[in-house]
Copies of this chain bind each other. A is one copy, B any other.
Amino acid sequence: MTTYQFPQFPKQFPKNRLLQKVKDSFVKRFLTDKASIRYLEEGFINATDIPFVRFIGIKEKEEVLSLDLKKNVCNHVETIHAAAQFTLAETESGMRLQSLFPELEQKVIPLVRDAQIKYKKPAAQKITAHSFVDDKAIEKFKIQFGKKGRALLQIRVEIRDIDDTLTSEAHITWFVQARLDEKA
């Protein structure tokens, strides 16, 4: 059996041109959310501290993300909106990604590349998110990331109501890129 070693990245978030570019483009546009600025500077953010996630009211308890049925997240028939369920699924997949590779914390920028979601039943109650990742996909990710400093990983997420009914199922693909100077 082969064990894959991640390349050694600097422990401090590098003050490089890529970071500068990101900061110039985004942070200086009057965006002052403390958690996000901390992410850009320190390379880590709690999933539930991401501005949009917090705004919608996604909560974490014992590592399970949930969203209550409340007026602001509803659709035209008073169930939880398709896009609010999508938000919960996306957040779960991001949190799962963080927990899968703690050694990459502060060393990468993860971004969603694509996503699919299928709606199964109306979400007429509080919903929770549950994620699943294929072991082979994780190994493939490690090999690709070790070689190229960037890789893709697909995470499957089930959204279930408190009666355990599956309301929707999503497949979310993350693109993870090392935070290194392009010329390093």
- Residue numbers of A with Cβ under 8 A of B are 22, 25-27, 29, 31-33, 36-37, 39-40, 45, 50-53, 55, 69, 71-79, 81-84, 86-87, 90-91, 109, 111-119, 122, 124
| Residue on B nearest A46 in the bound complex, by CB | B76
Whether the pair A31, B71 counts as a contact (CB closer than 8 A) is yes
- Knowing A83-B52, A114-B118, the reply to whether A25 touches B76 (Cβ < 8 A) is no
| Residue on B nearest A45 in the bound complex, by CB | B76
Most buried by B among A33, A76, A77: A76
Whether the pair A77, B39 counts as a contact (CB closer than 8 A) is yes
Residues of B with C-beta under 8 A to A118: 113-114
| Residue on B nearest A39 in the bound complex, by CB | B76
* Other-chain residue from B27, B55, B90, B109 in contact with A82 (beta carbon distance below 8 A): B90
| Residue on B nearest A36 in the bound complex, by CB | B78
